[in-house]
Amino acid sequence: MKIAVFASGSGSNFQAILEAQKEETLQAEVALLVCDKPGAKVIDRAVAHNIPIFVFDPHNYNMKAEFEQEVITKLAEHDCSYVILAGYMRLIGKTLLQPFEGRIINIHPSLLPAFPGLDAIGQAFDAGVKVTGVTVHFVDQGVDTGPIIAQQAVTIEDGDTRADMQRKVQEVEHALYPKTIQSIITKKMKEVSIHE
Choose the catalytic residue: 49, 78, 108, 195.
108
Nearer to ligand GAR (CB atom), residue 56 or residue 69? 56
Closest contact distance (angstroms) between CB of 42 and ligand GAR is 6
Spell out the residues 6+ positions from residue 19 whose beta carbon is closer than 8 angstroms to its own. Answer: 178
Closest contact distance (angstroms) between CB of 192 and ligand GAR is 29
Closest contact distance (angstroms) between CB of 87 and ligand GAR is 3
Spell out the residues 6+ positions from residue 112 whose beta carbon is closer than 8 angstroms to its own. Answer: 135, 137, 144, 145, 148, 151
Q: Which residue is nearest to ligand GAR (CB)?
A: 87
Catalytic-residue membership of 108: yes
Report how far residue 88's alpha carbon sits from residue 29's, in angstroms, rounded to the nearest whole number. 19
Q: Which amino acid is at 23?
A: E
Point out which residues bind ligand GAR (CB under 6 A).
7, 9-13, 86-87, 107-109, 120, 144, 170, 173
Nearer to ligand GAR (CB atom), residue 9 or residue 52? 9
CA of 130: how far to CAs of 65, 120, 168, 169, in Å? 41, 14, 13, 13
Nearer to ligand GAR (CB atom), residue 151 or residue 170? 170
Question: Crossing angle for the helix pair 12-23 and 41-48, nearest 10 degrees?
Answer: 20
- Specify the DSSP class assigned to residue 58: G
Closest contact distance (angstroms) between CB of 146 and ligand GAR is 11
Nearer to ligand GAR (CB atom), residue 69 or residue 172? 172
Question: Catalytic site residues?
Answer: 108
